[in-house]
Amino acid sequence: MSHLTRGLAGLLLAHALPAATWLPPVRRLTPRLAGRGEARHVALTLDDGPDALSTPLFLDELARLGCHATFFVLGMMLQRNPSLGRRIVGDGHEIAVHGWHHGNPLVTRPGRVSAEMRRTVRLIEDVCGVSPSWYRPPYGVLSAEALFAARRDGLRPVLWTAWGKDWTASATPGSVLVALSRGLGGGATLLLHDSDSTSAPHAWRAALGALPGVVATCRADGLTVGPLRDHGVHSARTSPGHP
């Protein structure tokens, strides 16, 4: 193997190595990245919106339940639905970055992840009047470029400790609750979707239908459900030493 080939292989390995955190055993070894937080709190996070069809229903249901969440938005969806971005913030929820498109960072041409992350941050600031604190990569797949760009933009990467598997056509409120139940406890970060923009059509209905059960289960155990900002996991913007 030539020096050039070894060098390229090393660069590819460095680029892809952070993606290993997608694997549950690796996430368990990186609790802060997974979103493991305060023992009496559960972080509720929603990906892939805002969607004009579904997101308002999630906002209405969260208001009825009396709890807040962190919405990881796609830039292209926020660009289509700016009023929903403003409503998310206006209703007291937290807005965060999921990227511009839902592309896998590992197979995206160099520079695109960085540029689109910056573009999404700027759009959130312009539309919603707030600076986001969190970044979750599409598919939960991190790359070296994504980590560098997140740090540049003052974002802390965070994945999840439990997901509802609510993106399939066969998902139901009951199946979502069962999938979450394995990790539904104090300190958990839950992943659901408020849009079917990258899922099976109308798959969001399963997550919406599961919300009352998720919140009721947590509250029955004496746990508070809320956004990441209340989870005891400091963002890059609030960490000591961050400008």
Tell me the pLDDT tens digit for each residue of 50-91.
Answer: 999 999 999 999 999 999 999 999 999 999 999 999 999 999
d(CA 207, CA 121): 26
- Point out the catalytic residue in the list 41, 47, 93, 153: 47
CATH number assigned to the domain with residue range 17-230, chosen from the 4 options 3.40.50.300, 3.20.20.370, 3.40.50.2000, 3.40.50.720: 3.20.20.370
- Point out the catalytic residue in the list 193, 194, 196, 231: 193
Q: Tell me the pTM.
A: 0.87
In this prediction, residue 108 carries a pLDDT of 74
In this prediction, residue 104 carries a pLDDT of 80
- Banded pLDDT at 24 (limits 50, 70, 90): low
**Amino acid code (one letter) for 31:** P
Catalytic (active site) residue 3:
no
Catalytic (active site) residue 193:
yes
- Top pLDDT among 117 and 110 is at 117
**Amino acid code (one letter) for 43:** A
- Banded pLDDT at 239 (limits 50, 70, 90): very low
Looking only at the bridges linking them, the beta strands covering 189-193 and 224-226 are unpaired
31 pLDDT above the threshold of 90: no
Q: Where are the domains of the chain?
A: 17-230
Tell me the pLDDT tens digit for each residue of 175-221.
Answer: 999 999 989 999 999 999 999 999 999 999 999 999 999 999 999 99
Q: What is the 3-state secondary structure (H, E, C) of the chain?
A: CCHHHHHHHHHHHHHHHHHHHHCHHHHHHCHHHHCCCCCCEEEEEEECCCCCCCHHHHHHHHHHHCCCCEEEECHHHHHHCHHHHHHHHHCCCEEEECCCCCCCHHHCCCCHHHHHHHHHHHHHHHHHCCCCCEECCHHHCCCHHHHHHHHHCCCEECCCCEECCCCCCCCCHHHHHHHHHCCCCCCCEEEEECCCCCCCCCCHHHHHHHHHHHHHHHHHCCCEEECHHHCCCCCCCCCCCCC
Tell me the pLDDT tens digit for each residue of 131-178.
Answer: 999 999 999 888 889 999 999 999 999 999 999 999 999 999 999 999
14 φ/ψ angles, rounded to the nearest 5 degrees: -65, -35
